[in-house]
Amino acid sequence: MLTCFQTSVISSSMFLTAMAANPLSANLAFNTIKQQIGWTDWAKAAIVPGLVSLLVVPLILYVIYPPTVKSSPDAPKLAKEKLEKMGPMSKNEIIMAGTLLLTVGLWIFGGMLNVDAVTSAILGLSVLLVTGVVTWKECLAESVAWDTLTWFAALIAMAGYLNKYGLISWFSETVVKVIGGLGLSWQLSFGILVLLYFYSHYFFASGAAHIGAMYTAFLSVASALGTPPYLGALVLSFISNLMGGITHYGIGSAPIFYGAGYVPLAKWWGYGFLTSVVNIIIWLGVGSIWWKAIGLW
């Protein structure tokens, strides 16, 4: 269970569309540095450190917190029986699969086709509504989705006004004076900012809330200290996912995994912290080499 959770956090950091708050990071980055983070750019920058994390983290967890059941030879047979019981795909399921491929394809190649993410999402929803796969009544019943839309709009507006009325500038100047006074290179200064941003997540019960409150400020500070703005935006976006693994409330999926009751709270927090250290080493170590190779700095 712990491995499933930690790998889901890692995979969420690898793609723009893998976590609900990732588009919020991209939007705030554009408002701050006037550079758009596309699906392909995000995936290209995250793929190498992400794959390394997906290999290393499960191995470490397997060694220090081994599963009680290590073999399930009947699983393939049971899965095959369930699939046979379900029968072939229905018409609606085929339309849903096709719409998903269309939408994700437009997200990936939208930059080349001059189609933005919002247009892609509306097109996908329109196809589902016109074909009757989903109804508008069913859409209205998705209260969680409407909550997300409302909160994201508020967070984006809040971040914009904090910047407009000078709070972000004041915070940036203050932190620049403190960290800049240490006489460190931009790489070390950015490393300090990443650690502050990452572990301040202990005080947040939502990735979106953390991003809305701190992403713009930290990106502004990083840029002022000499960090390449686009690199800073990407790294803070990746970290905004990885930090969700340190507690049982830090990201939307955490309460679901923890609520299954397989992992005691003390072990969840302890192994969450250990995993966070491993992820930071991989993403700032292996990641930095990869980002240098692809020209991000």
Cα gap 94→190, rounded to integer Å: 47
Cα gap 113→116, rounded to integer Å: 9
pLDDT in tens, the chain (297 residues): 899 999 999 999 999 988 888 988 999 999 999 999 988 899 999 999 999 999 999 999 999 998 887 777 888 888 888 888 888 889 999 999 999 999 888 877 877 788 877 788 899 999 999 999 999 999 888 876 777 677 667 766 776 677 677 776 677 677 777 887 888 899 999 999 999 899 988 888 778 878 887 898 889 889 988 999 999 999 999 999 999 999 988 887 888 888 888 899 999 999 999 999 999 999 999 999 999 999 999
From residue 155, how far is each of 17, 25, 143, 148, 234 by CA, in Å? 19, 11, 18, 10, 19
Token pair, residue 200, equals: 């301040």
Nearest to 59 by CA among 286, 275, 295, 281: 275
Cα gap 15→47, rounded to integer Å: 9
- Between helix 143-164 and helix 22-33 the angle, nearest 10°, is 20
Cα gap 196→212, rounded to integer Å: 16
Which one-letter amino acid corresponds to residue 26? A
> Which residues have C-beta within 8 Å of that of residue 244, sequence separation ≥ 6?
9, 12, 201, 207, 250, 251, 253, 254
